[in-house]
Amino acid sequence: MNSGFQSNHRGLALGFAEVPFLSVAAMVSDHMVKAAQVRLLGIETTGNENLMVRVQGGVESVMAALAAAGTRAAELGASAVTSCLARPDASLDPLIHFPNSTNPLYGGRDQFLPNDFPQPEGPDMNPNQLALGILETQGLTAILEATDAMLKAANVTLVGKEKIGAAYVTVIVRGDVAAVKAAVDAGAKAVDGLGKLVAAHVIARPHPDLASLLPRSA
């Protein structure tokens, strides 16, 4: 899906949108790549609740994507710090394109990259056909209880669990829209009293760029 893009990226603008929480970053990323002709390069953790979404494309497209990021973040009750580098210096490249790693402090990925989980080709395996349910908590006990409730409530598949530090944990499920909505509702209710519910969202038709950041199953 991304073959050839990074190798021909020179001369393209870079866009950055920093938002709180992985759930918000996923929703904002999906909105950005749907709103403008940009490529999602990844989502980078910062060691606290904030993450930075990186996109690349023509200057006008990047600016449109960043405007969309601000709008979507506000709709989700968050704010986005955005920046566009119209002509990034070539020396900046190692800070934008670098290998992923696991943070030893909390056991989560340092960044979410589109080549972490390459998606199968062909319409029969297109992840865009399935909705994503995203539930984020502060507290591991809460997320485990919520995940159990989600899997029992509807016919959904557990995609995986992601940590970004500071006890923030996100669980993602996949299935048809109705099932995912039911699962996320059940999971959100199960968090009550066990931890802090950060967010519970459904992406009905995730963009392939976002889907490629995630495993296909647990």
The rounded distance, in Å, linking the Cα atoms of 52 and 164 is 12
What secondary structure does DSSP assign to 99-148, as a single string?
Answer: ---B-TTTS-BSEE-TTSSPPPPSGGG-GGGSEEEEEEEESHHHHHHHHH
The answer to whether residue 120 sits within a structural domain is: no
Residue 127 has pLDDT above 60, yes or no: no
Instruction: Report the percentage of the chain scoring pLDDT > 70.
Output: 89
User: 95 and 15 in one domain?
Assistant: yes
Cβ atoms of 9 and 63 closer than 8 Å: no
By three-state DSSP, how is residue 27 classified? helix
Q: Give the pTM.
A: 0.88
Q: Which residues pair with 203 in a beta bridge?
A: 132
Q: Domain total for the chain?
A: 2
Q: How many CB atoms lie within 10 A of CB 105?
A: 9
Host domain of residue 156: 127-211
Q: How many CB atoms lie within 10 A of CB 186?
A: 20
Q: How confident is the model over 152-196, as pLDDT tens digits?
A: 999 999 999 999 999 999 999 999 999 999 999 999 999 998 999
User: 65 and 150 in one domain?
Assistant: no
Q: How confident is the model over 184-214, as pLDDT tens digits?
A: 999 999 999 899 999 999 999 999 999 888 8
The answer to whether residue 117 sits within a structural domain is: no
The rounded distance, in Å, linking the Cα atoms of 218 and 216 is 7
For position 89, what pLDDT does the model report? 93
User: 65 and 27 in one domain?
Assistant: yes
User: 173 and 196 in one domain?
Assistant: yes
Q: How far apart are the first and last CA of the chain?
A: 22
- Give the CATH number of the domain where residue 168 resides: 3.30.70.1710
